[in-house]
Structure 1
């Protein structure tokens, strides 16, 4: 059996081997030099081994050494240029640096593999692990090939900057995302979701993300199956076990799902966090809080005074649907007078402070309930009531329904502050991801209406551009485990009110979407049964589409047309509008596809003299706040959020003095 496995593996490495491999690097990058030397030394050792596994190892190490040399020049250039795009010396971070960090993590893993093989290669025990090492080499080499393509894209962005004589992470309008990402069709992304998935993050997050990827792959089997429910559940559980044992199989499934699944799949998967089982987690693990109450705000028109002391009418939310109540969740560590059920035995006085919060979820999923894992910690640490808004979700309710609801809640709580046990003298807006975008958009809208603005805004890993601009960090979504390119495009399209091009019923889509759906259907005309399934299913099995080879998420960029409304994309707000904003604390991460949004936004606000602060955390993914119970680093990140919110409240107090 081992002989047959060895032959199968060797066929993947059927390549003429060099008789020797030079140990002198060609001006290699310092990051890759150690890997080059160690890989070349291992390659020369296994050159003497004529066995199938020996030749496979020799070839694998030769390829690793050669690729270290190949990426070195471009990587060195990116490393030299990256600091020029930072906000300042104290805040290093941008999309160029992100890829340097990824290469550093990869070289560190490859160096460990080289050292491990060297220490074991002459021992008997080595035979037990050599096939695993061969697969490790294959995976790292495939990843290096793809990452080298990313370096070429980054070099293109640098050339655009040089040509246009600017230093901006977002190129000028003369260049398009399509122009940059046309080459992305050649990127092999399977390796980023296979045996070394999430290698770029801290170890506690890496294990969590691998588990989530396995769950996603198994859930896709359930979602796309047409079998009875119990059979679908059984198959999903069985396949999850297979995906745990076979990382490459999992990678294929993940790539298929992220590329070809509709927004309904994204919503359905993310709503697993809303299951009855997951809802019980905060009660058992998170701090106990006295008040955790859902409140329905009746859809009655409101009237509040503007900054000019003139009454302003705030209508009930009505965009894209009927007028309906808005649900909010009140969280408080202590009972305060006025709060539901707390009037007779309140343990604390009325607070002067209030946090109004919006959750993340790509504009299409989740709720205040799924974000309790960190909101409870915030409520206890800050000792401030938190009002979290369960806004309407896209695509059923696209922009601007969410902003209408936030503004409505904001006006209502100013009229009824006692319900939250507060005087509302100091109000901080807070949100993560999509919720952060909404809070900033609502602030801009309140400013346009001359309403009282919040006293500060805290935004975590916020997408400030609801567009796919070709910035360095945006390229990260082509290898991000939680925010892959396909998912990101579906969510942004849904919020912008665009039709999902992968929905099988194109009657509501525009002509271009119809054409693409027809191409998908016609491509399998020689396979009648497959064609019938694709035409009539409400969802499309991603593996069917993969066989057709007619669609890439990059194709959707041609259809992605979003208005330049600053309420949707706050990055596009005018200078005069930004100058009116209250103090803003931004917190993002080194490996976030939205990193460049925050960096360029902070630069612009500083040029305008705005009060803004930016933190960039290492080793964490987009959405890390939801992992605060599972990762020490994520928990520390949540504590920093608390610190930055507390600082905003202090600025309110200082300003009052």
Structure 2
């Protein structure tokens, strides 16, 4: 798809096919960068005598020279990666890995600079040209290019230290610690201010700005002695300053991502569970006849042995940490089917709200049992969200596929660390197979589907089915799955230094929580009600703000930049944009990191924090990190279909896992979509690109249901 980039009106557009940049395109891009920087400097030299802002003019000329210097240094790095990055793809038909992604992100940043610089060169002598505003914006992108240059140097280390085709560093120390030290000390605020989301699809940028503004507003008032409307008012009124001051927003977001605890992230992510937010998403989602939550009792199951259906195997209910307990699930079906209106199923249902459909409320003819069944495990980093957060696209999938979907609400960390979630998901899978007639299906074809943490659970549940000897699913569709829950560095994980949705500190918090590092498991008395956690008024205020802001936020940020804010941020940027920042604006570089050229130093942050690096042996448990599983645990997996994003920090998880399965002659496909962040399934209503990616997942599920039957001697026996 040919895409045009326009930062402001009347700019000179730079058109480029982001998804298919050839190995030669980067030379033209960097040549254009040098040319346009020279054009800006020449135009400014000719306009000095007429300029009313000599200081801003000098700053702009200085930053254009810095961009030229960064461009000269970055181009050979990009050339080096483009000559070898194809060796790290799954195959020639599936281009995608962290090295390609870094090249793509750098080129995207350079393209934004080129078009902005062309606008400046063409308009800097005009009477209505806003010099201060344009200086601040070009300085922000100069800072971003500087930091991306540092990431390329770090990626070089990974490339040089690893074996051929290996994306993850196998060094137990060294680079892992250096990577964390760089994350702690490197300046990241520029990626959350004016440059926020420059690498993603343009249609998603207003949404990302809304999320970041909502997050920093909520984070500023987090744990203050305010409740109800007081907290709501604080969050609402403080959000205004982050709308008009992108630099302040970036600094505050950097502070929040590194310093606030796991409870903050659980609370903020669970805003999507609020009644108002759910009501708004339901308006845009498909109408289904069955949407009911069920409580599966903690009772032992007996299932036929896959290798000999005349024998049976016992499956115990989940017991980890606090003993046997029920499992909550959600049944979604576009059409009311046989069994879904049974008294047996109704006895398991639990009311969730007046807007949900209960099977017993229908007085109409039921459709026959479907031969297919989807079992879904939601994402949320193992620590947040439920099936309710994901029901928007699940309802659409039930309609498109015409099959019932069972989504599992497994217990969340840190209260329920590994292996509680895996035990509950496996038990729910076995219960669904045995009781498929209650769910409106014969379960002749069963597909496990999950995103992120849920993708991990799809794989590990299948591994557990193999180890227990019970029937395995007919296929797995995993969207951007987490297959390596360790602190190993990879080129795609370098994106955690710039990603607004998956920063490294947050990723590590999720891993530590799931691994049970420093946590004590606590049996939840009842499912957390987000309205109680946040206060109903707060949730309503945040939700209203989030819905409305995406419509006008982009325009407001471009059109309004207060002089005081511009002056302050310009001064700060100027002091930190040089090759050698002053000591007052930087921290001493960790002694371990000596991998940058002598004349280069990335910008340093004042916001420092100690990050707890995941180091518990549980991380390397194959049922936590399936990428590390031995062949005998992976041999026999059903066909695995992975849908990943080229701009996801977990991309290399997908690539390496697909490679491992292919090397074992296991059936696997990998699809890499462009220009979307981690978690794109939760963003289907925000852009055509995310909807297309979700449709790709539907096609893969349909492939599982339509794949040819194996010969009788190779077929897994069905369960009665």
User: Given the two structures, how large is their TM-score scaled by the length of structure 1?
Assistant: 0.85
Q: Is the 8 A contact 2:374 2:447 kept in 1?
A: yes
Match of residue 564 from structure 2: none
Shift of 1:603: 1.1
Match of residue 141 from structure 2: 140
Aligned with residue 106 of structure 1, among 91, 106, 109: 109
Shift of 1:116: 0.6
Match of residue 69 from structure 1: 72
Match of residue 447 from structure 1: 466
Q: Is the 8 A contact 2:511 2:614 kept in 1?
A: no
**Which structure exhibits the higher relative contact order, with contacts defined as CA atoms closer than 8 Å and separated by 6 or more residues?**
2
Q: Deviations over 1:590-637 (max 9, x none)?
A: 011110011111111111111100000001000011110111100111
Structure 1 CA distance for aligned equivalents of residues 226 and 336 of structure 2: 49
**What does 1:587-606 align with in structure 2 at a 5 Å threshold?**
587-606=643-662
Determine whether 1:372 maps to 2:391. yes
Q: Which moved more, 1:168-177 or 1:643-652?
A: 168-177
Structure 2 residue matching 1:317: 3-state secondary structure = coil
Shift of 1:176: 4.5
**What does 1:389-400 align with in structure 2 at a 5 Å threshold?**
389-400=408-419
**What does 1:115-130 align with in structure 2 at a 5 Å threshold?**
115-126=118-129, 129-130=130-131
Match of residue 320 from structure 2: 319
Determine whether 1:328 maps to 2:384. no
**What does 1:235-384 align with in structure 2 at a 5 Å threshold?**
235-307=234-306, 308-309=308-309, 310-340=311-341, 341=359, 345-384=364-403
Shift of 1:579: 2.1
Shift of 1:186: 3.8
Structure 2 residue matching 1:47: 3-state secondary structure = helix
User: Runs of 5+ in structure 1 lacking a partner?
Assistant: 1-26, 502-545
Match of residue 468 from structure 1: 487
Q: Is the 8 A contact 1:335 1:348 kept in 2?
A: yes
**What does 1:27-176 align with in structure 2 at a 5 Å threshold?**
29-48=27-46, 49=48, 51-126=54-129, 129-161=130-162, 165-173=163-171, 176=175
**What does 1:622-637 align with in structure 2 at a 5 Å threshold?**
622-637=678-693
Q: Is the 8 A contact 1:367 1:390 kept in 2?
A: yes
Structure 2 CA distance for aligned equivalents of residues 591 and 391 of structure 1: 28
**What does 1:570-589 align with in structure 2 at a 5 Å threshold?**
570-589=626-645
Structure 1 CA distance for aligned equivalents of residues 708 and 441 of structure 2: 15
Structure 2 CA distance for aligned equivalents of residues 332 and 282 of structure 1: 17
Shift of 1:445: 0.9
Shift of 1:653: 4.6
Q: Deviations over 1:402-441 (max 9, x none)?
A: 1111111122122211110111111111100101101111
CA separation of 1:375 and 1:239: change in aligned 2, threshold 3 A: same
Shift of 1:225: 2.0
Match of residue 454 from structure 2: 435
Structure 2 residue matching 1:453: 3-state secondary structure = coil
Q: Deviations over 1:233-276 (max 9, x none)?
A: 21111111111111111111111111011111110110000011
CA separation of 1:655 and 1:612: change in aligned 2, threshold 3 A: farther
CA separation of 1:203 and 1:442: change in aligned 2, threshold 3 A: same
Q: Is the 8 A contact 1:53 1:131 kept in 2?
A: yes
CA separation of 1:153 and 1:446: change in aligned 2, threshold 3 A: same
Determine whether 1:493 maps to 2:512. yes
Shift of 1:654: 6.7
Determine whether 1:620 maps to 2:676. yes
Q: Deviations over 1:383-416 (max 9, x none)?
A: 0110000000000001111111111112212221
Equivalent pairs, count: 580
